[in-house]
């Protein structure tokens, strides 16, 4: 079971649901007022969007939703979790992952097909790719500028928690970081949208060769 968490303002939940459903997985939406995740959840996904309208800060209100207590319990028990874009912001606001996402350096919303480098593949999300591999995944965010204290950045590298970097300077993120995981390697987050890189003409007619999101989304479930 793939459980897709849905907060007011989430707008990429249908894309995630559609992808996993098309791959033959059982998928369920989990509304923010729920007290628990489905018992057979193999992967919990916090999809992109603008939870609670991004008031206060991105993800700052969502962390107080009832479902987050259940998500923390699921994570503490080793449950695999993926945060995409706003999901990344929520996981950082909840202190489940280190750092914070701030306004882009140019103070503008950025939407483009970003070039990324695979920094580490000793994990469930990127074991499908070699280290140093260049991939392309769309980004669409106004607050994707990942910032972290120097001592915590050092810890990220010591524990191989930096997973993806932008090839070029995109939004001001420290060390061009685009994706990370927790120390236990069961919580993953990235600002790019892999669910938009699955080469379906109905949703991406001009990105015919962009399939780099497929293996990322599927690999998370292969070892569960």
Beta bridge partners of 145: 102
Q: Please say if 193 is a catalytic residue.
A: yes
Q: Which entry of 6, 32, 141, 193 is annotated as an active-site residue?
A: 193
Alpha-carbon distances, residue 71 vs 74, 86, 177 (angstroms): 5, 16, 25
C-alpha to C-alpha distance for 4 and 82, rounded to whole angstroms: 10
Provide the pairing of β-strand 177-181 with 2-6. Answer: unpaired
Is residue 85 flagged as an active site residue? Answer: yes
Selecting among 85, 143, 181, 215, the annotated active-site residue is: 85
Q: Which one from 58, 93, 141, 195 is the annotated catalytic residue?
A: 195
Cα-trace Rg, the chain:
16
For the question of residue 200 being annotated catalytic, the response is no
Task: For helices 212-222 and 13-22, give the axis angle rounded to 10 degrees.
Answer: 70
Q: What is the DSSP string of 85-134?
A: THHHHHHHHTTSSSSEEE--TTSS-EEEEEEEEE---SSTTTTTS-TT-E
CB count in 10 Å sphere of residue 76: 11
How far apart CA 143 and CA 60 sit, in angstroms, is: 13
CB-CB contact of 35 with 70 (8 Å)? yes
What is the spatial distance between Cα 77 and Cα 79, in angstroms, rounded to a whole number?
A: 6
The residues annotated as belonging to the active site are 85, 193, 195
């Amino acid at each position: 079971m793939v459980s897709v968490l849905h907060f007011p303002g989430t707008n990429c939940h249908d894309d995630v649901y559609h992808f996993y459903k098309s791959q033959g997985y059982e998928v369920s939406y989990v509304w923010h007022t729920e007290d628990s995740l489905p018992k057979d959840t193999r992967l919990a996904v916090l999809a992109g969007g603008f939870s609670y309208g991004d008031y206060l800060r991105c993800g700052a209100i969502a962390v107080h939703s009832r479902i987050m207590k259940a998500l923390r319990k699921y994570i503490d028990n080793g449950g695999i979790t993926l945060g995409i874009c706003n999901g990344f912001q929520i996981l950082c606001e909840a202190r489940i992952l280190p750092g914070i996402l701030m306004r882009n350096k140019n103070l503008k919303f950025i939407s483009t097909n970003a070039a990324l480098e695979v920094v580490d593949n000793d994990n469930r999300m990127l074991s499908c790719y070699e280290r140093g591999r260049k991939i392309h995944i769309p980004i669409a965010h106004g607050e994707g500028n990942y910032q972290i204290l120097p001592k915590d950045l050092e810890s990220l590298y010591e524990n191989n928690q930096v997973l993806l970097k932008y090839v070029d300077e995109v939004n001001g993120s420290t060390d061009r970081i685009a994706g990370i995981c927790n120390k236990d390697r069961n919580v993953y987050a990235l600002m790019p949208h892999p669910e938009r890189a699955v080469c379906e003409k109905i949703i991406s007619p001009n990105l015919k060769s962009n399939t780099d999101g497929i293996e990322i989304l599927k690999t998370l479930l292969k070892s569960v």
